[in-house]
Structure formats: structure tokens, C-alpha cells
Structure 1
Amino acid sequence: MQKESRNSKKGILLVNLGSPKSTAVNDVKEYLDEFLMDERVIDYRWIFRALLVRGIILNTRPAKSAEAYKTVWTDQGSPLIVITEKIQQKLQKLVDVPVEIGMRYAQPSIEAGIQKLDDKGVSEIVLFPLYPQYAMSTTETVIEQAEEIRKKKFPKVKINYIQPFYDRDIYINCLAESIKEKLPENFDALQFSFHGVPERHLYKTDPSKTCKIDDVNCINSKVDTHNAYCYRHQCYKTTESVIAKMGLPKEKTIVSFQSRLGKDKWIEPYTDETLETIPKQGIKNLAIVCPAFVSDCLETLEEISVEGKEQFLHGGGENFHYIPCLNDEDRWIDVVKTLCEEKLNDFYLV
């Protein structure tokens, strides 16, 4: 990137999900309250959401989640926060504009990140939601929160948002190379486990209101206006592109969805059920990756690499190999840099 005086007015904000500030039950409870009370995560009317979250979930889940966080916590703190900070530090060495981070939930907040950039004289921000695929509970809630904060507290600041990059060649190449390097020599199947969402979220985000959750109408859809907001389509598209780049036969891959909450129907197939049943189908040696995440976190380090492994082995599997997220790999930092620079250059066109 060429250095120009006008760059002093620009900056980058990397936004990830967030994490409790510690593994203490009260801190986990505070985090879960903010997270689950988001209307784009649990999309019930406020009164019903409050009854579910504060009346039921927060009376039992925080203690269990706190124990889970303890198994992945590092000396530096939350893995997700630590990794996001490493991405920030590496990116800062490659660009000549300020780089800050913010979390959708808990600290450091999106507001704190914008404030740091504003304090440095930044008036044009490239905000990067670190989610490859679009969902109302990820990309959409980040953008809505950032816009609310901007309008209320930073009205003179302009924000360019990086859109989901699930099918961008630079991302697909990066992910395929990363997986290929970590893939064991002998494996019966490579499983792509994406974070799940309730089926109704797909209907709500579909601008055409014609969404049909089936392989023909969803996975193979060529309608750009629909695909831009269809999480399920984007997950399958990422998988399809990666296995093509790796040269893997489709029959040697599995797609599933994890982390479902409650009794509502979420998009299928479910990761936990799949892990329990595939050994009976002859899959004894499994590699698994979680491409809905760019940074390892509770859902990958505990839910998949610990609980998922137990489910697979209990079902009759023999070898389970978890493939880490992109985290702070240099090739991923190069992708982040390229995507950010594209949006930084967009400011010059306005």
C-alpha cells in the first residue's frame, strides 16, 4: 500500500465474536446474557427471549460453560481474544493505517475500538467482521451494532464494511492450503463442521422470501440476491470450493452443523449426531475442520476437539484429527490485508 497523507484519516477495525473476561461463573453469565439476549441470536420477542435466557438458560448454563472455558483458557486469557490480538499485531506491521479490534459481545467492545481509532484522528474506518459466511447472528448483528454506535456517538465517522468472503479465491486458496498441510496421510473422510443456526434465520434473511431448504434450491442456487444472505448456501459453497481446490473426491467429505441450542429445528445434519453414526458406516479415521470460524475458540477447542472426539470414538471411531482454524497464519494475514486494502481504496472513489 502506498503511503499517502490522507491515510492518517483511515483505520481498520477487526471485529470478532467475543468472550467472557474470565472463567468465573459470574463473568460467563454476564457474557452469555449479552450474547443470548441479542435479538439476532435468539430472535424471539423481548419478553419471551428474556424468559428463556434469564429465566431458564442463565440459571444452569453459566456454570457448565465456565468449566468448558477452563479447559481452553490460556495464560494470556481467552483463545479467541488472544488470537484476534495476534492478527491485529501482524496486520499492523503490513499496513500504514491504525488497526484496532472490537468484540460484538463483552470487551474490548466495538465502541471501544471505534473510540481508539477516533482518538487517533481516524474518520474513515474499514470494519472487518471476521466471519467468512453471512448470518443474521454474526455479520448482520455486527453491522447493526456498529451502525447504531456510529450514529449515536461518532456521526462524522464513515464506515466501510467488508462483506462475507466465503467464496473469494484468496480465502479459498488460503483455507485449502492450510487444511492440506494439516491433513493426516490416512483418513477416511474430511468433515466440515459449520456453526449451526435455526432454520427460521434462513427464511428471515432471504430477501426474495422464496427460500427452500433443500439441496437443489439452496446449495445449487445461482440467484445472487438470495445467495448473498443464505448462510447454508455459503457454507456448502465454501466446502465445494475448498475440496475442488484440494482435489478431494466429494464422497470423501461430510458437511454438518454444530452448536445448536434449544428444541427449535436448526439446519441439518447435526455434527454431534453425525460423529456418533459415521463410524458405523465404515469411517474409522476422521479429520474435521470448522470453516465458520477463523479463530479457534470454545466451539472448536472444546466442543469439537474434545466433546466431538469423545462422540466419534464412543460411536466406534478409531482416529480423530482436529484441524485448527486459520488463526494468525501468515497466509491468512495476507488475505486480511488484501480484503482491508480493497475497502480502504473504496474511500478514495467516493
Structure 2
Amino acid sequence: MTQRAVLLANLGSPDKPETAEVRRYLNQFLMDPYVIQLPWPLRRMIVSLFVLPTRPKASAEAYQSIWWPEGSPLVVLSQQLRDAVQAKTDVPVAMAMRYGQPSIEQQLLKLCENPAITEVLFMPMYPHFADSTVETSIQEARRVIKAHDLNITLQVVQPFYDDPDYINALVESASPHLNEPYDHLIFSYHGLPESHILKRDESGSHCLKQAECCATPHPAHATCYRHQVMRTTAAFAAKAGLEASRYSVAFQSRLGRQKWLGPNTEDRIRELAASGARKLLVICPAFVTDCLETLEEIQIRGQEVFEEAGGEQLTLIPCLNTHPAWVDVLSQWCASDPTD
């Protein structure tokens, strides 16, 4: 008889908000070929010469501004989510990080200490497909299974960017903020180099080649990050009853000089302040758990940018974190088969 376990997987965090720890974390993250999609020698040169000499110190200071007494907010909240889901399901549930601790390898090996476990339902905690999040996590899980000859079947939950249960939970979690007065809502998604989008379009003629590529049905949408974030936005807006003039999409967290998806979130914040907006809401649906990119980049730096441009109040709508509606959704997935 098949006995299932569940492994939730998020991106990861340094162990401490200190330069050495952040350098180690960034090296692991940026040397992943799914993140910087260049041959190893070029990737090694860029990371070693242009990133690691200076960025770890600045990133450590950013982490220090949002670090909790219990540790990294991402790791702490992820563990709380695991505990909440475990309390509502009979199957074993574990939480892993693609980079840092606890690793996917550690958690898979721990689950497989129980010889009755024959199937692992692997849930990358990213609503939208990207090589640098979903694909690298799946490939790491498969590498571990092969390397250790684990006698388990890996079932993978597919990107859930427009899943009705996910959208309903997202809207429910955001509703208290949407019910308060505001001028504009920004959907701020994690940025992605355009090259990642183009590489996944096997036709070579659709993604980013047409003005309405995301709205025109195409097989490439199955792995197109931009299409999927637009679908999330549209589904959220329809469910929440948002007026088209009161929300917009932007992309944050750029790194390097290549062309990234736009518009840039900070630029959009400045534009809205210049147009007279005084109260902004920002939601970050690419993340299901609050982390450096939401708590520091949006809540702290975003507010500073908004004030400097003439705005007054920028409010970050928290990620789903451990919202009861989200816990219910994940608990239901644990017992079902959302892998199709």
C-alpha cells in the first residue's frame, strides 16, 4: 500500500544575517545554473568578481533589518506553516529549502527513514513556474533520490497560479487591506530576466514577441512566468472586484545588467507618487511566505522610495504565510492529487 509523505519547499535563507553566512548562501544560490543561465566559467567569474566582493555585506545589512529573534522570517514562517498543515493532515509533512537549511536532501532522507513511505508529494512553494525556483527545486529532489537510491515515487504539485483555491485564499488574506481606503494597488512580482522567458518558448516566436503574447493562448504558457503572473493578477482582480484603473503589475528584485521583465516596482512607486497617489498597497503574490524581498525591499525600502517621491503611506499586504485559508488549501492538497 502506498504511504504518502509531503515535502514543502521554499527558496531559502542564510543561517545568520552576517556577511560570511550571506556570502556562503549567495554563492550557493547564484552558482545554480538554473539561476544564472550561463556556462560555468562565466557564471563563476560573474559571481566571484562582481557579486561576492561587495553584495554580501549590503545583503547582510538588509537581513539584519528584518531578522527576528527566532531567526530568518522566511524559515520561521515556513516552519510555522509546516506545523499548521501537519496539524490538519495525517500524512507526514516536512519543510525544506532549496538553498541553505534545512536542505531538500536532509528532509528527503529524514522522511525515507520510515520504510513505509513510498511516495513523496513535492510542493514547490512558488505559484508561478520559473527555472530558478520551480525547476531547480524539482531537479534537486530528483538528484537526491537518484544519488541515494531512494525507493520512493516523487509526485510534483504543478504551479498553482490560477488555482481557484489559491486565488480565494489570496483574496481572503488581502481583504482587510482592500477594505481600507487606498489610491492604488501594485502587484509586485519577483523579477526574471527576459532570457529565461525566451529560452522556454520552443516556438521562438510567441513569448515577448507579440504585444498581447500573454493573453493569446499558446503552449509556451505552461512554463511562461510572465503569462502566469498576469493570470494570477486577472483572477485576483476578478475575485476581489477591483477596478482596472486601481491596480497595476510591476517586477522587483533585479540583479545584473541583462534585460529583466518590467516595469520595475520602484519606478512604478515613483510614478504613482508623482501622479498624486498618497496611499499605496503592495501585494507580492510570487511569494507565499514573507521574506527579505517583501519585508525589506517593499515594506522598508518601498516606503522610503514612496515618501521621497511625495507619497505618504505604503502598506505591504502580508504574504499568505499561515493564514487559515492557505493552511486549509495545503491540507486539502496533501490528501488529494493536485499534480495533473
Describe the superposition over 1:128-167 as per-residue Cα deviations: whole angstroms up to 9, x where unpaired.
0000011111101111111111111134211000000000
The residue type paired with residue 288 of structure 2 is V
Distance in 2 between the 1:118 and 1:195 partners?
33
Written as runs of structure 1 = structure 2, the 5 A alignment for 1:128-277 is: 128-183=123-178, 185-213=180-208, 216-223=211-218, 225-277=219-271
- Check whether the contact 1:161–1:343 (CA below 8 A) recurs between aligned residues: no
The residue type paired with residue 76 of structure 1 is E
Describe the superposition over 1:100-150 as per-residue Cα deviations: whole angstroms up to 9, x where unpaired.
111100110000110111012222100000000111111011111111111
The residue type paired with residue 188 of structure 2 is S
Match of 2:78 in 1: 84
When residues 265 and 226 of structure 1 are mapped into structure 2, their CA distance, relative to the original with a 3 A threshold, is same
* Deviation, structure 1 residue 211: 2.9
When residues 344 and 92 of structure 1 are mapped into structure 2, their CA distance, relative to the original with a 3 A threshold, is farther
Distance in 2 between the 1:97 and 1:342 partners?
11
Normalising by structure 2, report the TM-score.
0.96
Normalising by structure 1, report the TM-score.
0.93
When residues 18 and 260 of structure 1 are mapped into structure 2, their CA distance, relative to the original with a 3 A threshold, is same
Distance in 2 between the 1:345 and 1:193 partners?
27
Match of 2:57 in 1: 63
The residue type paired with residue 16 of structure 1 is N
Cα RMSD (Å) of the superposition?
1.5
* Deviation, structure 1 residue 221: 2.4
- Check whether the contact 2:91–2:334 (CA below 8 A) recurs between aligned residues: no
Distance in 2 between the 1:210 and 1:159 partners?
33
The structure that is helix-richer by fraction is 1
Describe the superposition over 1:158-207 as per-residue Cα deviations: whole angstroms up to 9, x where unpaired.
10000000000001111111111223521111100000000000011223
- Check whether the contact 1:218–1:232 (CA below 8 A) recurs between aligned residues: no
What stretches of structure 2 of length at least 5 have no aligned partner?
none
SS in 1 for 2:8: strand
Match of 1:18 in 2: 12
* Deviation, structure 1 residue 344: 8.2
SS in 1 for 2:223: coil
Distance in 2 between the 1:40 and 1:173 partners?
31
The residue type paired with residue 146 of structure 1 is A
Describe the superposition over 1:199-258 as per-residue Cα deviations: whole angstroms up to 9, x where unpaired.
0000112233323326743220222x2111000010111001101101011111010000
Distance in 2 between the 1:85 and 1:59 partners?
32
Distance in 2 between the 1:176 and 1:260 partners?
27
Distance in 1 between the 2:92 and 2:316 partners?
34
- Verify: 1:40 aligned to 2:34, yes or no: yes
When residues 189 and 214 of structure 1 are mapped into structure 2, their CA distance, relative to the original with a 3 A threshold, is farther
Match of 2:315 in 1: 321
The residue type paired with residue 162 of structure 2 is D
When residues 293 and 215 of structure 1 are mapped into structure 2, their CA distance, relative to the original with a 3 A threshold, is farther
The residue type paired with residue 213 of structure 1 is L
When residues 266 and 182 of structure 1 are mapped into structure 2, their CA distance, relative to the original with a 3 A threshold, is same
